[in-house]
Chain A
C-alpha cells in the first residue's frame, strides 16, 4: 500500500467531526513519521475545521512532528532524578556527538534528539532511551558506543 492509499484508509476509519482530529492526526503521523502540510490540510477539510486551527492544535502537542525524523530517536531524560545524577552532562555529550540541538535531526538522518522531562525510570538515573530501548546508569563515556550500535544496526 502506498502513502495515498494508506491515507484514504485512515480517513475511512474516522467520523467527519472536530473530535476526530487528534486520533486522525496520530494515524497520519503513523504513515509519514511526521505531519506534512498537505495531509494536515486534508484532515482539516475532513473534520470541517479551518487548516489554521488544525495547525494550531497539532503544534500544541509534543507528540506531533512537523519534519522527517531521523532513523532513530534518542531521548535524554532531564527529570529531577536524572538531573541530580548528571543528566545534563549526558545530554551535552549526545549534542556534541550528533552536532544537533534537542528537537533536531543529525545531518546524516540517523538520529533525532529530544530532551524529555521524565521517562519514569528514576531508579536507573541518569537515563537515555533510544527507540524503545532504555539505557540506565548512563555515563558520558558510554554514549559513543551506544550510538554506534544503532548507527551500524
Chain B
C-alpha cells in the first residue's frame, strides 16, 4: 500500500496515500477541532473550524484538515498563532448569529459549539450585526423541536438524512446570510415525507434540530447512557438509552454495532413510552375467593400460579396447557419457557409471537440450503447489485434492511418495491409493483417464470452449486403469466419488466419482512424466495442473499432456543427419538413426542375447550388476531390464565394470577437478530417495586413445579442450552464479543457472516418445485 510521510507539529506521521490531514492528525493523536465533519457522514467542508497551517518553506497557507489530502513531505502546524486566530474568528462569526442562550439550551453540556467556544475562549460579543429571527419550535413534529436560530449551517442533518436514512428531507436553501436549512418548499416535516428516524437530531452539533422529549426538564450531564440491544424488530440494533432516575429520556444508535452502525428507526428511537408508562406492573396480583384481583407478593403469586397450572395439568391431562411468549424475551427466557412447558407441564404447546414465521423460514432454508436460517447478513443488502423489497412497510418495520436497500440503490442498484400501497420505500424505488394484498407468492412464481423462460439466470452457479433444477423447470411450465397477472393485479408486461430488472445486476438481495396479520408467508413462499435467489446465483455470496425476516424482536432466538411447538432447542424435532433422548440427558426429563400448536391454533383450541390453562409471557395475544372480541370470549373460558407482563392491560382483568415482569431494557441475557447475531443485553434501568425479569419469574415457577429443572443463573441456562444447540459450539456469555457473534460459531470471534458455497455433490443447494 502506498504511503506518505508528513510532519504535524514536528511529529513525523506515516499515512496511507489519499488520507486527509485530519486522519493523519488522529493517527498521531493530535487534536484538530471539527464541526461540520462527522466520521459517519460524507465530507462537506462547510465550517472551516478545522483549518491548519500548511507550511511551504517561506510561506504558508490555511487548509481545511478534514478534506485536504496529505502530500508527501508536508509540514503542518495545528496550533500556530495563525491557526488559532483563524479559528477564533470563525467562532466569533458563528457566535455573532447564534442565540448564545446556553443557560436554558437543551444541548448545554453536550453542545459542540459550546465546547469549542470554551476551548478557544471566544465570547459572543465581538461582532454586532444582523441576527436571524426564525420561529422557535417551527414544526409541529411530535418528536423533533426545531429552532433554526441555533443552526450553524454545518449541514450534518442534510447528510445524515441522505446518507443514513435515504429520506432526503432536509436541504440548504438560499445563499449567503439568507442560507438556511429547510424541507423542500418549506413544507412541515410530516408533509415533506419525514420518516421520524431522528438521525438529523442525532447529528446536530447544537440544538437547532433537537428532541422534544425531556426539553426543559433534563440537562445533558444528568443523563446516564447505557447501551443494550433494541428488541422492537429482528434487526438487533445496539442503542444507547439515556436515562434519568427511573425514566428513559432518549435513545441514540451505537456507531460500533454492525447491525445498525449508528442508525435507529422510529420505533427504536421514539417508542420507549411503554418503559416510562404509569401502566407498568409493579406488584403481583391474584384472584381471591370472590374472584377479585388483589395485590400480593411476587412469591405468593408464583406459588399460586404453580399450583393452578399443576392443577390443570393433573386434572385435564398433559396437553391442556399452553405457554405462549412475546417477541421481546431473551434467549435464556425462551429456553426456560420451553423447558417449563416440556419438562414441567409435559406439553409441546409452546410458541412465540412470530413462531409460525420463524418455523417456516427455518424449514424452508433447511430444505433448500441445508442451513436453517438467513444465509447472509444485513450488510449484504448494501452491497447488492439489485434489490427486491417485499412484505412489511420496511421503513417502519424492518428499517435496517430498508435503509441498506436505499444505499444500494444510491450506488446504482435497481430497487424494486412490492407493496399494495405507496409506502415510503417506493420513493427511492426504480419500480413499484402495487400488487393485490397477499399475492406475493404468485408474483414470485411469475418472476421465476420470466427469469427461466428468458434465460436470465446464472447458468454457471446453477450448474456448480445447485441440484433439482429440472424439478423447478417442470413445475414452472404449469405457470401461466396471465394467471399471475390476474392474481397480482399487475400486467404481464410489468411482471416481465420486473423479472428483467431484478436479474439485470447480480448478486441480488431479496428483502422480505413478515407482518403479524399476514399469513401468506409460509414455507412454500420462503422456498420460492430461495428458488429466485438460487437462479440469480445470489445465495452464500457477498451482496447476494435472501434476507427473510420475521417480525419478532428476538424471534430468531426464540426459535434457536426451542420456543417452537415442533422443535427442541437447536431445531431438534420433538418427533425424533434421538433428539428427545439427547434432551432428556441434559434435562433429566424426556420431552413429549407429539408436536404442539402455534399461537393461532392454540387460540382455536381454547375456543373448543381443549386448552384449559394458558401461561402468557410478555405477550398480549389480542394484538395478534384480527378478531379481538372472539379471542376475548375464548380466553374467558380458560380455567387458568397466568399473565406475566411488564404492562397492565385488559388481559390482567381475566387473569387468575398476574406476575410483574420488566421490559427488555431492564434485562440481562442475550438475543439473536435475523442475521444470527447473538448479542448481550445490559440493563439500563434499575428494577422498581416487586418486579422480576421474565427469567427469574419463569425460573421461580420451574423451581416450584420441579426443583431439579431450575437454572442456577442466566449464564448456566445459556450454557445448558448450548449443549443442545450445536451451532453455538460451546459459546458462553463471556466469550460473546461486544459486537456480537453470528452463529454457527467457529474459531473466529465474529462467527459466520454467510454460509459457504457447497463443495460436494450432496451438499448442493436444492431447488424446490414452485407451489
Contacts and interface: CB of A to CB of B under 8 A. Distances in A.
Interface of A: 37, 40-41, 50-56, 59-60
Interface in B161-191: 168-175, 182-185
A52 B175 contact: no
Contacts of A54: 184
A52 B174 contact: no
5 contacts: A40-B185, A52-B168, A53-B168, A55-B171, A56-B172
Given A40-B185, A52-B169, A59-B174, 14 more contacts: A41-B184, A50-B168, A51-B168, A51-B184, A52-B168, A52-B170, A52-B183, A54-B184, A55-B173, A55-B182, A55-B185, A56-B171, A56-B172, A59-B173
A52 B183 CA distance: 7
A60 to B, nearest CB: 5
Interface of B: 168-175, 182-185, 192
A60 B174 contact: yes
A44 B174 CA distance: 18
Contacts of B192: 52
Contacts of A55: 171, 173, 182, 184-185
Contacts of A52: 168-171, 183-184, 192
Contacts of A40: 185
A37 B173 CA distance: 14
A99 B169 CA distance: 36
Contacts of A59: 173-175
A102 B424 CA distance: 40
A60 B175 CA distance: 6
Nearest to B427: A50
**A-B CB proximity, top 4 nearest:** A56-B171, A50-B168, A52-B184, A59-B173
State the main secondary structure of chain A at its contact with B: helix
A51 B170 CA distance: 10
Contacts of B184: 41, 51-52, 54-55
Nearest to A103: B178
A104 to B, nearest CB: 14
A121 B169 CA distance: 43
Contact of A37 (B168, B169, B175, B185): B185
Candidate in A52, A53, A54 with the most chain B CB atoms within 10 angstroms: A52
Contacts of B185: 37, 40, 51, 55
A56 B185 CA distance: 9
A40 B185 CA distance: 10
A59 B169 CA distance: 16
Contacts of A50: 168
Candidate in A37, A50, A60 with the most chain B CB atoms within 10 angstroms: A50
A59 B192 CA distance: 17
A53 B171 contact: yes
Contacts of A41: 184
Contacts of B182: 55
A50 to B, nearest CB: 4
A56 B168 CA distance: 11
A32 B61 CA distance: 48
A115 B548 CA distance: 60
A52 B157 CA distance: 13
A41 B185 CA distance: 10
A11 B306 CA distance: 74
Nearest to A54: B184
A52 B142 CA distance: 22
Nearest to B428: A50
A153 to B, nearest CB: 33
A54 B169 CA distance: 12
A54 B184 CA distance: 8
Candidate in A37, A54, A59 with the most chain B CB atoms within 10 angstroms: A59
A60 B172 CA distance: 9
A40 B184 CA distance: 10
Nearest to A66: B185
